[in-house]
Chains A and B, each alone.
Chain A
Amino acid sequence: MPPSEADPLKRLSFLRRFLAQPWVLGLVGVATAMLIWFLTTASGAVDNLFLPSPQAVWQAGQAQWQSGLLLKDAVASIQRVFIGFALSAGLALPVGIAMGTNPTICRLLEPLMGLIRYMPAPAFIPLLIIYFGLEELPKILLIFIGTFFFNTLMIMDAVKFVPSELVETALTLGGRGLPILTRVVAPFVAPQVLDTYRINMASAWNLVIVAELVAATEGLGKRISLAQRFLRTDDIFVGLIVIGLVGLVIDLGFRFLMRKACSWAN
């Protein structure tokens, strides 16, 4: 028999298997967008001031990196997101569990939270600036306000869906209050809680950029708003791409954590 590569059918099935890899088509999509971007700018159909070429963006990125600005901005933004979101996630967990397990607490807080949830967080910026000035605190609080209520209500829902059999079995095995919370409720909702955090982390990123656009001395959003003032679209693109990439890495991190910690749920 000749080697299998010579067999066109085999080759086809190899190609199909290759395309079936989860990331392959995604890369094809990204590459296509890059190509269209490149061709559009190379053809000269659009003014480079409005749409900088990929090369120009890359150079702007390198310049920002070499000057140390890029890292400084990224660190500033990431820090705000992490502090604000950690506060939100950390507080949402006990409150969400309390609301999910105790109907009285739920009836007390759910309408209130449901109401605040629909107030757009950026609309709080003027108030936050009046109360707390232009430092870090108002930005962190903005992220907190924008994600806490979603986090809490989604965790509450996850807790409400813990099958009563699982809790009641623990009761008939001699379990009581806190051990049931830590050994039954917590592991059961862990995958949904991680997913909730993953989803709401995206809002946290949106909000930190919005906050920085309004008032900041450093940060990825600040860099973008400065670049606008000088018509530096290439710098704006650098900012956008870095924001997207950092968000994506965080998202993948949560997915990885979920796969590792909650393999039973897949």
Chain B
Amino acid sequence: MHLQVSSVCKSFGYGPKTKPVLDAVSFDLHSGQFLALVGSSGSGKSTMMRLIAGLDRPSSGEIRLDGELIRGPGADRGMVFQKYSLYPWLTAAQNVAFGMRLQGRPKAEVRERTAYFLEVVGLVDSARLLPRELSGGMQQRVAIARALAAEPKVLLLDEPFGALDLQIRESMQDFLHRLWMQTGLTALLITHDLEEALLLAQQVHILAPRPGRIVRSVNADLDRSSLAHLRVSQPFLALREELASCLRSLDSTLTA
């Protein structure tokens, strides 16, 4: 799997009201990699994600998946939104099965894979509950299971934990990290939370706002055997501080 984003620009509106949102964004993502895009809100992160998902078209530049130009949404790019994306009339299990049923997979296979992915996200006991009966964290785990069950080549996560309480967010980060180790999935995470990006991703791109562009890329080669240790380890804190000051300087050039 190879996702290629090359010189992607995106602007909204026409004529004098044109608003550039992304400016010449390029990056690559390979099988098994965990990549994060970090930027303040309004820096065009969600826009970038929607372009990759095929829900929107770039104004210029191109996005290719395994050499194929992306022309629209497809099951090869699974997406997890920040919130409100579970089908409220379906149980947790039915939500997980939803994509597979859309794809017309055989019933037995759907049942088997649903059970498997509920197990993976630790929600076997909640299989029959409706979304409104699940906590925010559980809902996001169902959304992730639903995306994974459809067998995407890459998982697109748009601030998946942004709406959760701090404590739940940490446990969800641990969960996502374990999931990545277990399943070897390829993931693109979008977040405004620098710590989250550094904890989870091997590579982090910093996005400057107005228009969104990558101003810094770092390889975060950290020891991720225990996230609890990583959170307080010296190399992690140093890297976080360095990038945080980078993000701050981007903000100050804006306000100055």
Which A residues fall within an 8 A CB radius of B? 163, 165-166, 168-175, 179, 183-184, 187-188, 262, 264-265
Q: Are A179 and B85 in contact (CB under 8 A)?
A: no
Q: Are B89 and A173 in contact (CB under 8 A)?
A: no
Q: Are A264 and B102 in contact (CB under 8 A)?
A: no
Q: Are A172 and B102 in contact (CB under 8 A)?
A: no
- Interface residue tally for chain B (C-beta within 8 Å): 30
Write out, one digit per residue, whether chain B residues 76-116 have a CB within 8 A of any chain A CB (1) or not (0).
01110101110111000000001101110000000000000
Which listed residue, B84, B103, B150, touches A165 by the CB 8 Å rule?
B84
Is the CB of B53 closer than 8 A to any CB of chain A? yes
Instruction: Find the B residue at minimum CB distance from A262.
Output: B89
Give, as a whole number of angstroms, the nearest-CB distance from B70 to chain A. Answer: 12
Q: List 12 A-B contacts (CB under 8 A).
A: A168-B81, A169-B143, A170-B102, A172-B156, A173-B98, A173-B102, A175-B102, A183-B98, A184-B87, A188-B89, A262-B89, A264-B132
Q: Are B55 and A173 in contact (CB under 8 A)?
A: no
CA distance A265 to B88 in the complex (A): 8
> Which B residues are in CB contact (< 8 Å) with A187?
87, 89
> Which A residues are in CB contact (< 8 Å) with B53?
168, 171-172
Q: Are B84 and A183 in contact (CB under 8 A)?
A: no
> Which A residues are in CB contact (< 8 Å) with B87?
166, 184, 187-188
Is the CB of B243 closer than 8 A to any CB of chain A? no
Give, as a whole number of angstroms, the nearest-CB distance from A108 to chain B. Answer: 22
Please give 14 more A-B residue pairs, beta carbons under 8 A apart, in addition to A173-B103, A173-B150, A188-B88: A165-B84, A168-B55, A169-B85, A170-B102, A172-B78, A172-B79, A173-B75, A173-B102, A174-B99, A183-B98, A183-B102, A262-B89, A264-B130, A264-B132
